[in-house]
Amino acid sequence: KQEVTQIPAALSVPEGENLVLNCSFTDSAIYNLQWFRQDPGKGLTSLLLIQSSQREQTSGRLNASLDKSSGRSTLYIAASQPGDSATYLCAVRSLAGTASKLTFGTGTRLQVTL
Amino acid sequence: NAGVTQTPKFQVLKTGQSMTLQCAQDMNHNSMYWYRQDPGMGLRLIYYSASEGTTDKGEVPNGYNVSRLNKREFSLRLESAAPSQTSVYFCASSEADGYTFGSGTRLTVV
C-alpha cells in the first residue's frame, strides 16, 4: 500500500526566504506526482504535475523535483511572500491509466510572515 | 471557467438523515472521485468511477453509495448519516494531465 509522508508538518518563515517542502513515498512504481495548494476552508489548487519520466517541473517561483528511485519529491518556493501562506499537499498516482487513484500526504502548513 | 462544481457547499444533518452530494465536471474527463478530508488524516478516497457506468470502492466506502449518472455527473449518497461522517467532501475528476478538484462540501452531522 502506497504511503505518502510530508515533512515538516508546519513551517513558518519570514518573507523573502527560499524554502523547501519535502514529500516521500513508499512505492516507487508511480505514474506521476502532483503538488497542490489548499487555502483555509477552500478546495485544492493544482500547482505542479511531474510525470514519472520527468525530473522536475517549474512554474514561476515554484520548482518541483522528483527522484522516483529514492521515493522523494521536493517543492522549492523562491522568494516567499505572505500570499504563499497555505497548506501544501503532495499526492502520488500509483497506476497508469485514467482509473488510477491519488494517495495524499497530510500536508505542510506554511506561514510566511512580514 | 471549466472545472468541477459541487453542491451544496455547506450542510448540517441530524443523525439518521439521508442526503446526496452532487458533483459535475465539464472537462470531458472519464474518471471521477469522491474524497473526504479530516484533520490529521489527509484526503481519503471514498469511491471512484473510472468511466461512465462503472464505480468502485476506495479506502473508506462504508456508509456511502455513489451513482455515475452520466459522464459529467457523479453523486455521493449518505443513506443514514452518522457523526463520524462529519467531514469536508471533495469531488475530483482526472485524465492523464492530472486531477481537478471541486471546492468542497462541509458536512456536519449532529
**What does each of the 114 residues of chain A score in pLDDT, given as a tens digit?**
889 999 999 999 999 999 999 999 999 989 899 999 999 888 899 999 999 999 999 999 999 999 999 999 999 999 999 999 999 999 999 865 545 678 999 999 999 999
What confidence score (pLDDT) does residue B44 get? Answer: 93
At residue A96, the pLDDT reads 57
* pLDDT at residue A112, as a whole number: 97
Say if the Cβ atoms of A98 and B29 lie within 8 Å. yes
Q: How many residues does chain B have?
A: 110
- Kindly state the helix (H) or strand (E) to which residue B13 belongs, with its residue range: strand B10-13
With beta carbons less than 8 A apart as the criterion, state whether B10 and B19 touch: no
Please say if the pLDDT value at position B95 is more than 90. no
Contact flag B45-A36 (C-beta cutoff 8 Å): no
Write down the pLDDT at residue B39.
84
Contacts of A34 in chain B (CB under 8 A): 98-99
Contact B95, B4 (CB under 8 A): no
Tell me whether residues A46 and B104 touch, CB distance under 8 A. Answer: no
Three cell numbers written together for B72: 459529467
User: What percent of chain B has pLDDT above 70?
Assistant: 97
B101 has a pLDDT exceeding 70: yes
| Three-class SS state of A82 | helix
The whole-number pLDDT of residue A102 equals 86
Binning pLDDT at 50, 70 and 90, where does residue B42 land?
confident
Q: In DSSP terms, which residues pair with A76 in a beta bridge?
A: A20, A63
CB B56 within 8 A of CB B47: yes
Task: Determine the pLDDT at residue A99.
Answer: 57
For residues B52-66, average pLDDT: 94
Contacts with A104 from chain B: Cβ below 8 Å? 42-44
Task: State the pLDDT at residue B1.
Answer: 60
